[in-house]
């Protein structure tokens, strides 16, 4: 019965993100976050207009950094692994945008190579710390904070661990905290792609 209900939900012609809230395994937001307008620089050195270039897509927006030892690689690896197993009708509607919170160390070349290791379609964006803080405020996530460097000059950056999922209604109704499993992504991504 549960499988039948899920099949009917996925097979529907299009669902509303808000009405389908309880169907998601991600965490529903009390108040939807509008798709933000900002422009940063991508890993090819080109300006990336987030709102225009992600229009009419499901956009997974995530803040992190390349040297992150745990949250970032696990999130990106899980999303990439699941996307490889989904049909193009779903993945063709999904964009993954990663904004580095450590632009000083995450050069365009390093960021490009790192993201390509997960999925070549993932978009990496860089900006000034002020720009990034402003965007974090726009989407209502905690601002990244760099820890004091150790004796070798290495440092960690505390950052928001959730992935925001903007659907084609230009809002994020659901977020995916650290701990989201591949099975959860595989369940939710097709549902998100159905949202009109």
Partner 1 sequence: MSVQWWCSARGIPWRWSWQAYPGVWIAVLALGAAYARWSRPNGESTSHPNAVSEGRRVGGWIGVALVWASLDWPGGPLGTGYLSSVHAAQFLALAMIAPPLLLRGIDGNRIRAFLARNGIAAKIITAVTTPLFAMLAFTIVMLATHAPGVVDTLMRSQLGAFALDLAWFLSGLTFWWPVVIDVPLRERFGPPMRMLYLFAGTQAHLYLSMWLLLAEFPAYGIYELAPRVTRLSALEDQQVAGGLLLTIGGTYVLAVISVLFFRWFAEPQPEA
Tell me the closest approach of the beta carbon of residue 39 to partner 1, in angstroms: 33
Kindly state whether residue 181 participates in binding partner 1, applying the rule CB under 8 A: yes
Tell me the closest approach of the beta carbon of residue 80 to partner 1, in angstroms: 9
Residue from 73, 108, 129, 143 binding partner 1 (CB under 8 A) = 73
Residue from 74, 86, 138, 146 binding partner 1 (CB under 8 A) = 74
Q: Residue 40 or 189: which CB sits closer to partner 1? A: 189
Residue from 81, 107, 121, 131 binding partner 1 (CB under 8 A) = 81
From 21-29, 73-81, 144-152, 164-172, span contacting partner 1 (CB under 8 A): 73-81
Residue from 28, 104, 178, 196 binding partner 1 (CB under 8 A) = 178
Q: Which two tokens stand for residue 60?
A: 């997974």
Interface size with partner 1, residues (CB under 8 A): 14
């Amino acid at each position: 019965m549960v499988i039948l209900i899920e099949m009917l939900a996925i097979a529907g012609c299009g669902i509303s993100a808000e009405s389908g809230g309880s169907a998601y395994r991600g965490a529903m937001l009390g108040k939807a976050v509008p798709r933000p307008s900002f422009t940063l620089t991508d890993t090819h050195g080109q300006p990336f207009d987030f709102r225009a270039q992600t229009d009419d897509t499901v956009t997974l927006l995530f803040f992190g950094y390349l040297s992150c030892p745990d949250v970032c690689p696990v999130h990106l690896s899980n999303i990439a692994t699941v996307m490889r197993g989904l049909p193009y009708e779903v993945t063709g509607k999904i964009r993954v945008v990663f904004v580095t919170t450590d632009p000083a160390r995450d050069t365009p070349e390093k960021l490009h190579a790192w993201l390509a290791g997960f999925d070549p379609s993932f978009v990496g964006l860089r900006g000034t710390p002020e720009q990034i803080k402003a965007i974090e405020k726009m989407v209502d996530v905690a601002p990244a904070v760099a820890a004091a460097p150790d004796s070798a000059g290495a440092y960690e950056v505390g950052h928001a661990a959730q992935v925001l999922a903007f659907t084609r209604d230009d809002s994020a109704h659901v977020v995916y905290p650290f701990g989201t499993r591949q099975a959860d992504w595989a369940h939710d991504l097709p549902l998100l792609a159905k949202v009109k």
